[in-house]
Chains A and B, each alone.
Chain A
Amino acid sequence: MQAHQRMLDPTSKGPHSGEFPLLQTAGLTKRYGDFLANDSIDIDVWPKEIHALLGENGAGKSTLVKAIYGLIQPSAGEIRWQGERINLSGPSDARRRGIGMVFQHFSLFDNLTVAENVALGLDGRESFKDMSARLEQVSKTYGLPLDPRREVWQLSVGERQRIEIVRALMQDPKFLILDEPTAVLTPQEADQLFIVLERLKAEGRAILYISHKLEEVKRLCDTATILRGGRKVATCNPRLETAASLARMMVGSEIKEVKAASARKSTVPRLVVNDLSLAPGEAHGVRLKHISFELKGGEILGIAGVAGNGQDELFAALSGERLSKDPGTVVIEGIAAGHLSITQRRKLGAAFVPEERLGHGTAPRMKLSENALLTGHAASGMVHRGFIDNAATLKTVDRATETFDVRKAKRDPEAASLSGGNLQKFIVGREILRNPAVLVVSQPTWGVDAGAAAVIRQALLDLATAGAAVLVTSQDLDELTEIADRIAVMFHGKLSAPLAVSEASREKLGLLMGGSSLEPREAAHAVGA
């Protein structure tokens, strides 16, 4: 096994200066009970290198970087820093040696200020005042503007990431780990980030870059290590590979291409939203402002946008989790439904798949059959005179399992025991099997492995082909351009006019996601009027 991996590893005798890699793991293994999250992983990262770590969800990327950052102790194997074996006692130990980390799910504190957040990531040997001064200096040097006195909850996702990066840079790290940094950025924001990363590389630092956006990796990274099922599959130069060959190594098999059926009939509008405005329901929420769109049968409308621009609020208003005073703001199948409850909307033929799988989409500790009942009770004949028809609920589970290839340990397990991709296939399947006229789905493939994502996207396309109206909210522009007919962008609670997918270039969408208008003259006119 070891020999095999060395053979695949061209960097071990690569054209690098210096004798030792900056950071090296040798046979690094992390075991949780019977489960091997990392199985004997060897990687070498050299100075002046942007090293990609590729893999599906659950491949072991997060476990590996947590071990390198000292958050977890490896069960076996070792970490070498500049050729010397080290045992990290914790993240502060890692930081002291020069290892920094930018987390995917930001490790920020919403109700503290920017400066306080940065201070918490440092070791506190300088006064708060000196630290604030240095913060301003670092953010200026790298072109990452920040107001140290603002509280984090007031900031956009891009700004939050800037805090993380500045916090890591203030430790002057030799080695920086970035965990899916572009997942929440607009294309323009991502470009700015790449400039910063290239500069860090030029300064002689090494970067371990976790991503599953393959084009990005090909553009930015010098080396890529690919993990699958907790094992290292290969180390390669991503510039010499194609996105398809990288994907094949990640997944271990070919991914089915999603195909749209050729002729789609556009008929009557099945979901209409008229001038929907809604005050936020909770602290830190977004106000929806005059949202209007029309969705015909057989059509998929994509809603793009950086997270936290009102997508959650729009979903709540459409699903009936929040009601609007004016019934005419949401029209389902020609019936004013703005004031109707979730169940009443389901009876009109609508179905909803929220972003959060556990806790919102399903009750985690309930069986799949019970979860099928929770959304199907109104309109699927699972309840007779107030009694549950167990055979019918189980049948729904079986049908979803067969149709959407849900893999599970037993016939009717608890929702929480399924992997993210399988649970999402079940949830989408549960709704699609009800033959909805309108399907509203939020982040259908968030954190789902590529194979399951393809199944889900195909299911959405097939549903639209069968004549349903489908509304998809996603942060993944590639996903939207793949399946949607039109794409609109949410920004600060407003929805742009939808663009036909043929006209929706990444640049245009990126501008809209950043709040710019595509027709500056018209916008100026509107302000004047």
Chain B
Amino acid sequence: MELVEAIILAVLAASTPLLIAATGELVTERSGVLNLGVEGMMIVGAACGFAGAWLTGSILIGALFGIVAGTMMSLIFALMALGLAVNQVATGLALTILGVGLSGLIGAGFVGERITPAVHLFIPGLTDIPLVGRVLFGEDGFVYVSIALVVGVWWFLYRTRAGLVLRACGDNHVSAHALGYPVLRIRTFAVMFGGACAGLAGAYLPLAYTPFFIPGMTAGRGWIALALVVFSSWRPGRLVVGAYLFGAVTILQLHAQGWGVGIPSQFMSALPYLATVIVLVLLSRARSGGSTAPAALGTVFVPDR
């Protein structure tokens, strides 16, 4: 019983950064922009988030630092890929390389420092319920924010006019422009939202997951988040399933190692990445009917004026 609860809590904690980053990237890609710089924006968010929390002693301010840092990084991307119409794939990859270096520079002074991690919710009575109490009512704030974020994004995309316009830009930017929508401005906002989410997801790692900063601590989570967006076929509902699935694989491989399952630990650590590849293959095989990806994804748009 105790173990099951512990595993569920660990899975939620491992899944949350994936969910937050992937939700942001989903919005970006729905507007038709492919930003491969998620990993870079996350790691800068992690370094700045930790720096903010260590300097002020406030987890909330740390998280805000992470969000602002991620947004700033995404603005570099927006300037290059949208403003100057540079190839999006190349820009995204460059952003990740830049982010990894930048985070090492920012975080250099903070390696080895510790902070008090984000507090977990406690509601007397509710949190004490066996098994589900801590899972539902004893999480840190980030977990609740991530859930609210996905629900909010779903509502935005499918229930608001602004969301419809954003999806329209991702489907056909020429038509959207012809109808008078400011495609580049809309995409810039979508990229900034993606950056803010990646920054927050990065900040989650040193602020709640482990209370210290080490260089490269995102360890490929940005790439998994990107794969998750494809896995979800650009739908928020499936994104939740995917994120928790991958979180679960990550945690289970740790436990499997603990239980002494006779499989090399390296293979077990590789399992989440392997699962990503397999899911991508299966999805591309099963695809039929309407196109699942935003039709304008990754294409450059230069309006004529």
> Hey, which bits of chain A sit against chain B, CB under 8 A?
70-73, 90-92, 95, 103, 105-112, 116, 119-121, 124, 128, 151, 153-154, 283-284
Contact = CB atoms under 8 A, between A and B. Distances in A.
A294 to B, nearest CB: 34
Contacts of B179: 91, 107, 120-121
Contact of A283 (B164, B167, B288, B294): B288
Contact of B290 (A91, A105, A107, A284): A284
B266 interface: no
B295 A111 contact: yes
Nearest to A127: B161
Nearest to A151: B290
Interface string B280-302: 00000001111100110000000
A521 B294 CA distance: 46
Interface stretch (B10-18, B170-178, B247-255, B268-276): B170-178
Chain A to chain B: the 3 pairs with minimum beta-carbon distance, closest first = A91-B180, A107-B175, A107-B178
B2 interface: no
Interface in B128-151: none
Contacts of B287: 283
Contacts of A107: 172, 174-175, 178-179
A70 B181 CA distance: 12
9 contacts: A73-B305, A91-B180, A109-B176, A110-B172, A112-B168, A112-B171, A121-B179, A151-B290, A284-B290
A70 B180 CA distance: 9
B184 interface: no
A104 to B, nearest CB: 11
Interface residues of B, number: 23
A128 to B, nearest CB: 8
B75 to A, nearest CB: 25
A276 to B, nearest CB: 22
Contacts of A111: 171, 290-291, 294-295
Among A109, A121, A128, A284, the one with the most B-chain Cβ atoms within 10 Å of its Cβ is A109
A110 B291 contact: yes
B41 to A, nearest CB: 27
A109 B168 contact: yes
B98 interface: no
B291 A71 contact: no
A198 B305 CA distance: 34
Contacts of B245: none
A502 to B, nearest CB: 42
Contact of B168 (A70, A72, A90, A120): A120
A108 B171 CA distance: 9
B164 A119 contact: yes
Interface string B177-207: 0111100000000000000000000000000
Given A119-B161, A151-B290, A103 B171 contact: no
Given A71-B178, A90-B180, 5 more contacts: A107-B178, A107-B179, A119-B164, A151-B290, A154-B290
A103 B289 CA distance: 26
Contacts of B291: 110-111, 153, 283-284
A283 B290 contact: yes
A151 B305 CA distance: 30
A119 B180 CA distance: 13
A317 B289 CA distance: 21
Contact of A120 (B165, B289, B290, B304): B165
